[in-house]
Structures are given as structure tokens and as C-alpha cells.
């Protein structure tokens, strides 16, 4: 989950190695990413996969040699088993919507774009106020309040068309946007703001066309890969927490674990 908290990180170190520039202010997720990358870089050196002369970068950018060494390290240390057919079938049955093709939704939206220097709190307050406004009028007024708001405040070119995006499939959207549009079955204004890489969206679903569920046999490989990825992420998080438990870290809180890595 993304954090809006900005942290002064001039003292953030991993085993004495500074991972930020003194003048930087980073969000929590970026700081975590830098810390874990440095942990892995140091571990690659300790295991002989990377030369001790490799120089850490305060801006978090790894050398090409360090990147390759970390890939090798993770391939050796974070291994996941091939999921059984039974596990794949259970996952497929429980996530039918993920394996449906051809589904489309008719959408319009109001975009509050996140741009450099924007006041995120003020932007969110404006977006939430707009969401409340259009929900109060949703289906209860002959005036098209949604279209009016889109024309006046949306940062998307579609605003001039009342926010109309037309009929969309999952391939037409950014993944995080598609997840909100296709992960539920609502019709009307969604009850919460939709977050995407572009900003905050007030979204109205005007119509839905159901897709065709794909049989297990036709998507078995995709299901297997999805389960392997889930297992890898879980194992990687535990491996990183074990590395953090043995490290001297200042200026940042990382998840730490004492138990052995479960394969």
C-alpha cells in the first residue's frame, strides 16, 4: 500500500552504508526499496557473487554487476515449488473473473491528476467532495451533475465530453484501474475513489457486458504462473525479513523475522 508520509532520510543506513543523499526526502516505499536493495547487494558480496569493490550508490541505482549478482542470489535462495494441478484448479474456481475474456464496461470518469508539486491532501479533499456530490445526485436528478463536474474539474481530455471513456476491456486500462472496474459488479458511481498511476478518479459504470469464462484446461499455464508468483513474493518477503533481522539499520523500520525461510 502506498504511503503519503514523507520521511527525512539523511541518516538512513544499512550496516553503516548510507542509502540516501542528505538533501533527499523520500516516501516510505521508496526508502524500503533502497534498503532492501542494499541488503541484497551486501549479501551478494558476502556470498562471493559480487566483488567487494562494488560501490553502493546513494541514489539507490545499482551497478549492472550488482543487479546481475542479486538475480543470481535470489535464484539460489528464493525457490518455489511447482503448484499441483489440484491447487491450480482451486485457484481457477475461486477466481473465475480473472480468467474471463471479452468482458467490457462502459465508463466515464473525473480525473484529479497527481502532478509534480501538487498538494496531495488538497487534491484528495477535492476528489472526495466531488465524489460525494455526484453520488448525492446519482439517478435522482434530471441534471447530469457528473458530466457537469467532469467538464469543470477533470484533468482528462475526456472532461470536455462529460468524462466519457466509452466501452473498455481490461487491455484498454492500466492494471490498477482495470482491477477496480472489473473486480466488482457495481453499476453507477463507484462508492470510493479509484487510485491509478495517473491520479484519483471518480468513476461511474454505465453498463457492463459479460465476458466468457475460460475453461481450466485453456488457462492452466497462466494459473500455474500466477500461483508461483504469489509463492515467490511470499518467500521473497520472508527472505528479506531474515536479512533485515541480522542487519544494523538506522533511519527506517523494516520487517524482521527470526524463523527460517519456508520453501
Going residue by residue through the chain, which has 263 residues, state the pLDDT in tens, using 9 for 90 and above.
444 444 443 578 899 998 888 777 777 888 888 899 999 999 999 999 999 999 887 677 889 999 999 999 999 999 888 999 999 999 999 988 778 788 899 999 999 999 988 899 899 999 999 999 898 875 555 458 999 999 999 999 999 999 999 999 988 999 999 989 988 788 899 989 999 999 999 999 999 988 888 899 999 999 999 999 999 999 999 999 999 999 998 888 888 765 444 43
Domain 103-210: which CATH number of 3.10.50.40, 3.30.1330.10, 3.30.70.80, 3.90.1170.50: 3.10.50.40
DSSP symbol at 138: T
Do residues 101 and 214 lie in contact, with contact meaning Cβ atoms separated by under 8 Å? yes
β-pairing, 164-168 vs 199-209, is unpaired
Do residues 222 and 66 lie in contact, with contact meaning Cβ atoms separated by under 8 Å? no
Rg (alpha carbons) of the chain, rounded to whole number: 23
Do residues 120 and 101 lie in contact, with contact meaning Cβ atoms separated by under 8 Å? no
Do residues 33 and 61 lie in contact, with contact meaning Cβ atoms separated by under 8 Å? no
Map out the domains of the chain as residue ranges: 6-82+222-250, 103-210
Residue 42 dihedral angles phi and psi, to the nearest 5°: -65, -40
Classified as helix, coil or strand, 129 is helix
pTM beyond 0.75: no
Amino acid at each position: 500500500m502506498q504511503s503519503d508520509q514523507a520521511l527525512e532520510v539523511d541518516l538512513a543506513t544499512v550496516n553503516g552504508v548510507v542509502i540516501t543523499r542528505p538533501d533527499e526526502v523520500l516516501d516510505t516505499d521508496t526508502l524500503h526499496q533502497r534498503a532492501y536493495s542494499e541488503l541484497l547487494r551486501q549479501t551478494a558480496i558476502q556470498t562471493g557473487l559480487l566483488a567487494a569493490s562494488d560501490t553502493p550508490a546513494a541514489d539507490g541505482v545499482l551497478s549492472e554487476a550488482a543487479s546481475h549478482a542479486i538475480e543470481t542470489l535470489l535464484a539460489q535462495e528464493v525457490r518455489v515449488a511447482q503448484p499441483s494441478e489440484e491447487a491450480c484448479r482451486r485457484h481457477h474456481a475461486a477466481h473465475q473473473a480473472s480468467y474471463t475474456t471479452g468482458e467490457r464496461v462502459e465508463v466515464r470518469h473525473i480525473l484529479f491528476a497527481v502532478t509534480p508539486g501538487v498538494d496531495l491532501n488538497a487534491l484528495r479533499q477535492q476528489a472526495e467532495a466531488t465524489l460525494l456530490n455526484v453520488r448525492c445526485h446519482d439517478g435522482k436528478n434530471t441534471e447530469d451533475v457528473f458530466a457537469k463536474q467532469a467538464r469543470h474539474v477533470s484533468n482528462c481530455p475526456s472532461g470536455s465530453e462529460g468524462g466519457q471513456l466509452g466501452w473498455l476491456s481490461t487491455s484498454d486500462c492500466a492494471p490498477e484501474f482495470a482491477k477496480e472496474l472489473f473486480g466488482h459488479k457495481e453499476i453507477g458511481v463507484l462508492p470510493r475513489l479509484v487510485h491509478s498511476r495517473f491520479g484519483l478518479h471518480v468513476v461511474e459504470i454505465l453498463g457492463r457486458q459479460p465476458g466468457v469464462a475460460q475453461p481450466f484446461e485453456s488457462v492452466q499455464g497462466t494459473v500455474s504462473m500466477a500461483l508461483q508468483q504469489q509463492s515467490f513474493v511470499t518467500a521473497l518477503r520472508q527472505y528479506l525479513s531474515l536479512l533485515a533481522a541480522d542487519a544494523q539499520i538506522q533511519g527506517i523500520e523494516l520487517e524482521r523475522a527470526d524463523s527460517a525461510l519456508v520453501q
